Amino acid sequence: MIARARAALRRRPAVEGAPGTSAAPSGASDRPTAGTGCAVRLEDVHVRLGERDVLRGIDLELRERRVGIVGANGSGKSTLARLLNGLVVPTSGRVLVDGLDTRRDGAAVRRLVGFVFTDPDAQIVMPTVAEDVAYSLRRLPAAERDALVRAALAARGLADHADHPAHLLSGGQKQLLALTSVLAAGPRLVVADEPTTLLDLRNTRRFAAELAGLPQQVVLVSHDLSLLGAMDRVLVVDGGRVVADDAPGPAVEHYRRLVDEAP
Give domain status of residue 136, yes or no. no
Residue 179 lies in a domain: no
The number of domains in the chain is: 1
Helix spans in the chain (H): 2-10, 77-83, 106-112, 129-135, 142-155, 171-184, 201-212, 225-228, 248-261
Helix (H) or strand (E) holding 44: strand 40-49
Report yes or no: 248 and 82 within 8 Å, Cβ to Cβ.
no
**pLDDT tens, per residue, the chain with 263 residues:** 444 444 433 333 445 444 333 333 333 333 444 557 999 999 999 999 999 999 999 999 999 999 999 999 999 999 999 999 999 999 999 999 999 999 999 999 999 999 999 999 999 999 999 999 999 999 999 999 999 999 999 999 999 999 999 999 999 999 999 999 999 999 999 999 999 999 999 999 999 999 999 999 999 999 999 999 999 999 999 999 999 999 999 999 999 999 999 87
pTM comes to 0.86
Query: In Å, how far are 56, 73, 169, 183, 207 from 211, measured between CA atoms?
Result: 29, 23, 20, 11, 6
Whichever domain contains 55, its CATH number is 3.40.50.300
In a domain, 165, yes or no: no
**Domain-embedded: residue 62:** yes
In a domain, 44, yes or no: yes
**Which residue segment(s) compose the domain that 192 sits in?**
2-16+34-123+188-261
Judge whether 231 lies within some domain: yes
Q: Is 91 helix (H, G, I), strand (E, B) or coil?
A: coil
| Cα–Cα distance, 185 to 167 (Å, whole number) | 21
